[in-house]
Amino acid sequence: MDFNMIGPAIVLGLGCFGSCVGCGIAGMASHGAMTHVEEGHGKFIGLTTLPASQSIYAMVLMVFMNNSIKAGGLSPLSAIGIGLFVGLAFMGSSIFQGKVISTAIQASAKQPAIFGKCAVAAGIIESFAIFAFVFALLLIE
């Protein structure tokens, strides 16, 4: 049995799952807010897409992990560990980013002037996914 793709598949699956949940949470808030305000819908839709970035990080990491396994620089067991824990970081980041975006949308629907301040919190959560991504790249090189 070939275990080479388990780690890369784990990171991709968890990253995409988290992005799906995060975008779903944010999207539901966006839909609700759009029924109460007449303009600014594009801002809400834009925020809703932010949790999708973790699936991009996961896809890139999957490719790097696969290449490193094929080159012999990364063992399949190490790839499973990296894939699991970095995938969980991506998943958690995107889910909580969706929750923060949900409240940002609700708050900025009531007070449009605070939109930028609310969006910053989503960026802070994004940084944790970036940290996990960069550290994982360092581990597999």
**Distance between CA atoms of 116 and 82, rounded to whole angstroms?**
34
pLDDT score at 141: 76
Whether the Cβ atoms of residue 57 and residue 86 lie closer than 8 Å to each other: no
Four-way CATH pick for 20-140: 1.20.120.610, 2.40.10.10, 3.30.465.10, 1.25.40.10: 1.20.120.610
Average pLDDT for residues 9-15, to the nearest whole number? Answer: 97
**Model pTM?**
0.90
Mean pLDDT of the chain: 92
**Distance between CA atoms of 44 and 13, rounded to whole angstroms?**
26
- In 3-state terms the chain splits into helix, strand, coil percentages (rounded to 5) of 85, 0, 15
Give the domain ranges of the chain. Answer: 20-140
Q: Which residues contact 141 (CB under 8 A, 6 or more apart)?
A: 68, 73
Q: How many CB atoms lie within 10 A of CB 21?
A: 17
**Distance between CA atoms of 68 and 79, rounded to whole angstroms?**
9
Collapsed DSSP state (helix, strand, coil) of residue 132: helix
Instruction: Characterise 72 by phi-psi region: left (phi > 0), alpha (psi -120 to 50), beta (else).
Output: left
Segment 23-58, tens digit of pLDDT: 999 999 988 877 777 777 778 888 899 999 999 999
Average pLDDT for residues 98-108, to the nearest whole number? Answer: 92
Question: For residue 131, how many C-alpha atoms fall within 13 Å in the half-sphere facing its CB?
Answer: 10
Whether the Cβ atoms of residue 11 and residue 82 lie closer than 8 Å to each other: yes
Residue listed under structure tokens 């824990």: 85
